[in-house]
Each structure stands twice: as C-alpha cells, then as structure tokens.
Structure 1
Amino acid sequence: MLGKGPLELMVSAVRQLAPRVRAFELRNLQGGELPAVEPGSHLRIPVRLPGGKLVERHYSIASNPARRDIYEIAVLRKKQGSGGSRAVHESYGIGTRLRVNPPANHFSLHDDERPALLIAGGIGITPIKAMARALANRGAEFRLHYAGRSRAEIAFRDRLERQLGDRLQVHSSAEGERLDIHATLAMAPRNALIYACGPQRLIGAVQQAARELGIARNRIRLEFFS
C-alpha cells in the first residue's frame, strides 16, 4: 500500500494510449462510489522513485466527471526528469493499492451558459478531456483543439473523435497541421471562456495571442503541464 491518505484506491485496469502514454483506472478499494469530482480535478498520487524515496505527483482526472465508479489518470513517460513517470509506468499494475487524499481542483470549469474554447497540448489533454465531457453532458457550446507531434502520439484521440465529432479538431505537427493559436482565439465567440493546458510553449502562445487580441484576463484559464 503506497501513501497515507484517507482514500484507498486500487488500480483496476491499465491501457496503453500512445507509445509513451499509459492510462490507469482507479477504483475504491472498499467498494462503492468514489468522492464526486469536478472537471479539472487532480489526484496527488504516491510514487516510489528508483532510489526508494516516496514522493507525490499530481495527475489530472481524465474520466467523465459524472462517473463515480472510477477515476482515470494518464501518465506520460518522460525521457528526462526525476523518474516519477517512469516509476509509475514500471511499478503500477493491476492490483496496485494506494492511499491518497481526496481530489482537489485548481483549474475549475465555469457552470453557466457561456460557451468554451478548450485547447490542449500533449498530455495536457487530461483535464481538458474531462471538461469536454462535462460540457457535452450539459449540452453547452464548445470546441476542443488538441495539438500533438503525430496522430499516433495523441492520447485519447479515437475516443474523443467518437464522442465529440466535429466539436474536436486535432492538430498533428508531423502531418503539417500545426495549431494556429492566434487564429483559434480570434474565431472564438466574444463571450467564450478559454481553457488551455499543455507545455509552457503552448501556454505562452495563448497568453501572447490573448494580449494581442485584447481578450480580458478573466476569460483565460491556464494550467501548465510539462
């Protein structure tokens, strides 16, 4: 049992989403429903590093927020870094048991009728995917732009295409389909809230385009993922 939090979870399924991205399905070890979550919520997951040190890493909950039977997280195995993502890939398997704190949310989705523009880069899709499901569930107006190196590396792509249809636009740089942030923000409805999650390069481009277009800061919500 890893961790010391009050919520006991068990890995019940593992799926390879892309060459370096793996999804982990977590269920309540005691059975029954999990605590309710809002779109954008994350879990602090205990991870045993190769040297033996126990640390915590934050992973967004990517599953449909309406579900109470599972939490799904997706982990990108990084080529460099402290080894946390590598440790998850190598040591987490079906039956792994965890003790964690309840989910927290610092990247919340609005709950009124305003439309939304969702922008995800790479593994930044995880909180954005949950937001898209929540917006779709309530019949809200939104579009999701999802950028990645290649279609093979774009996690959840097939699932999102089935669920969202023409509300999803995938941008693969390998196929010459780079995301034009400035044009994308310029075409958003004037009252749309804009959510972006991804690497610093993407976040910086959103901030710059918003300044150039005179988009009010209170319409932009950002989360940085490395």
Structure 2
Amino acid sequence: MKGRQEWRGAVVTRAQSIADGIRLIEFAVEGGLPPFEPGSHVSVEVMIEGAPAIRSYTCVSSDAGHIRLAVKRHENSRGGSRFMWTLVEGARLRITLPENRFALSWRASSYLLLAGGIGITPIYGMAKALSVRARPVRLAYAASTRGELAFAGELSELMGTDAEFFVSEEGRRIDLAAEFAELPPDGEAYICGPLGMLNAAKAAWAATGRPSSRLRFEVFGDSGERPEVPFSVEIAGIGKRVDVASDQSLLDALNAAGVDMIWDCLRGECGLCAVDIVELNGELDHRDVFFSDEEKREQRRMCTCVSRLAGGSAIIDTGYRKS
C-alpha cells in the first residue's frame, strides 16, 4: 500500500550538469501544477534493474507547469540517482504533485539558512524567496570542494555578503555555535545536509536553550553514518525472510517480496513505514528524523524507507497478517 499521492505524467525538458556530480533536471508536468513553496518535494517513479521504484527529491524551483530537481550522483546509492542521471530531453516518466513538509514559517524576524552539499536544494528556494521579499537572511553553505557548490554564482549575486561559502578542502567549516549566537532570539534556522551535520546542529541549538520549534531541518535519506551492507529480516506473523542488498532500502525489499506496507514520504520524516523490532541480531543504522534520540537508542522501531541494519538480521513486525 502507498500513501496518498497524485501521479502525473512528465517529460524531461532539460538535463544539464550545474556542479561537480550534480545535474539539474527539469520536467514539464501534464495537467499543470498548483503553486508550491520552497521546501516542497516530489516522488519520482524510477527504474532500477528493470523494476519500478519510488524515490523522493526536493524541488529546486518552478516555472508555469515545470519542476526542477537537482540530483547528486551517488555511486553507492540504491540506484535512484543513477537512473535520474540517464534522463535526457524528451524522456517520459511519472512524478507526484509537490508536497511540503519543510516550509518557511514567515513568522521570524531573521532567518539563518544552513546547507551541506546537495542540501542546498530546498535552501536555494528559501534564500531566493526571502531575499526577493527583503527579509533579513544569512546563508552558510558548505561543500567538500568549490566545484560542488551548486548555484553559488546566482546566490552570491542575489544575496551579496549575506551568502558565505565554506569549502572543507580549503580548511573552512561552518561554526554552528557562532552562527546560532548571531541569530536574534526570535530568529529561525533552517538546515538541510548530511546526518552528521544535522546532528551537530541539533546539539548546538539545544545548547543555546532556544525553542526546538525554531530549528527546522531536512536530511538526505541515504546519508547514514555507516556504510550500506547487506542484511536480512524475518517478518513476524508471516514467516517470510527477506534479504536486503547493500544498494536497496528495507522498504523496497519488503515491497518486492510482496509484504504489505504503507508509506508516504520516503525520507524518514512521516513515520508511516515504521515497523516494530521484535528481535535484533545486529545494530540499527537510524537515518530518519521521525524518531527522537531516545526512541532511537531504545532500538524498538525503525523507518524502513531510509533506516537499515549495519549487518546481521532482525525479526520485525509490520503489523500486517495473512488473511
């Protein structure tokens, strides 16, 4: 079973490299599009080894009936980025209408935007929207190399000194504590980046004593802190064993095995695809932002769309039984 999603046909109208390892892919959507805000994402039906699968991508921006996505090539990913990189102008596929779970509040006196690598995708639209409306905003954008800074030229031209770039190979990293200290008490911070960056930001924010509701974040589904390795699960009440490859999500493996699942965001945010851990012979690699740190330490539940085992096996309970 799936979450509620409205699918539309789409045609690729542009596909080009915009930074090292990053391609911008533009789609014309059949039937037009409703207006949507920065931070919105869409699901895309991709083909992996000849079988359809669903992947979620953040919308960079849009024009009348078009959606743009920026996709980073991940050689060791679950295959979605490799498929997206094969798309050329005229290619047809299916995508969903945009949804937004990472929306700007528009209530703050000032905004701090933090991006790490391909995490610039939602932050880029926020930076443009805030700058156009002349709202106080600062962007701190980190990448491993200068060539990986997508949209850097445009953001510099738009924001001037309000945009600062931190390149790790040049010895520069974002000082999160310093950034938060400069933000006014009623300001808000928005961050998208790898899991390590997000965890560091959450810890630094908590140390300030500021309300947690004023730190908004989004994380990549494939940005775990451990390498992907194969593992297996047994489904309680069904008696079925499912093997999960290193380049496959647990949710994909369960769906392929005919196990009834419900899911929606595919980003570890909504919790719909979560399952109970009945028995664990290994260690969980939590990659979601749905469960609290305490819940993750308990290792009793996991989001199957992004989280996985760091090897070993487990018995899980999906909540479904054979009729």
Q: Same fold (TM over 0.5)?
A: yes
Pick one of 55, 58, 65 that aligns with 1:57.
55
Decide which of 65, 80, 85 is 1:84's aligned counterpart: 80
Please give the per-residue CA displacement for 1:118-164, whole angstroms capped at 9, x wherever unaligned.
Answer: 00000010001111111112221111110000111111111211222
The Cα of 1:35 is off from its aligned counterpart by 1.8
Distance in 2 separating the partners of 1:87 and 1:28: 19
Task: Give 1:113 shift.
Answer: 5.0
Matches of 2:7 and 2:194, distance apart in 1 = 32
1:7-26 equivalent positions in 2, closer than 5 A: 7-26=8-27
Contact 2:108/2:187 (<8 A) preserved = no
- Cα distance in 2, alignment partners of residues 180 and 111 from structure 1: 25
**1:40-119 aligned within 5 A:** 40-49=39-48, 51-63=49-61, 67-90=63-86, 92-112=87-107, 114-119=109-114
Between 1:123-132 and 1:184-193, the stretch displaced more is 184-193
Aligned match of 2:198: 203
Map residues 154-165 of structure 1 onto 2, 5 A cutoff. Answer: 154-165=149-160
Distance in 1 (CA, whole Å) between partners of 2:181 and 2:100 is: 28
Aligned counterparts of 1:161 and 1:204: Cα–Cα separation in 2: 27
Matched, 1:224 2:219: yes
Find the aligned partners of 1:139 and 1:19 in 2 and give their Cα distance. 31
Task: Quote the residue 1:177 is aligned against.
Answer: 172
| CA distance in 1 between partners of 2:8 and 2:113 (Å) | 31
Residue in 1 aligned with 2:267?
none
Distance in 2 (CA, whole Å) between partners of 1:187 and 1:129 is 21
Q: Which has the higher contact order (CA 8 A, sep 6+)?
A: 1
Distance 2:189 2:12 in 1: 33
Would you identify which runs of 4 or more consecutive aligned residues in structure 1 move more than 4 Å?
A: none
Paired residues of 1:28 and 1:70 also in contact (CA < 8 A): yes
- Alpha-carbon deviations, 1:90-116, whole Å to 9, x = none? 2x1111122222111111111235211
Cα deviation per residue 1:37-62 (whole Å; 9 max; x = unaligned)? 1110001011101x111111111111
Stretches of structure 2 lacking an aligned partner (at least 5 in a row): 224-323
SS at match of 1:7: strand
128, 141, 147: which one aligns with 2:136 = 141
- The structure that is helix-richer by fraction is 1
State the distance in 2 between where 1:163 and 1:125 align.
15
Q: Which residue is equivalent to 2:124?
A: 129
1:28-39 to 2 correspondences below 5 Å: 28-29=29-30, 33-39=32-38
TM-score, normalised on structure 1?
A: 0.90
Secondary structure (helix, strand or coil) at the match of 1:62 reads strand
Identity %: 35
CA-based RMSD of the aligned residues comes to 1.6
> Which residue of the partner structure matches residue 252 of structure 2?
none
Alpha-carbon offset, residue 182 of structure 1: 1.2
Contact 1:27 1:34 in 2 (8 A): no
Contact 2:41 2:59 in 1 (8 A): yes
- Which piece of structure 1 moves more, 109-118 or 212-221? 109-118
Q: State the structure with more CA Rg.
A: 2
- Higher mean C-alpha displacement, 71-80 vs 107-116: 107-116
Letter in structure 1 aligned against 2:183: A
Kindly indicate whether the alpha-carbon contact (under 8 Å) linking 1:35 and 1:68 is maintained by their aligned counterparts in 2: no
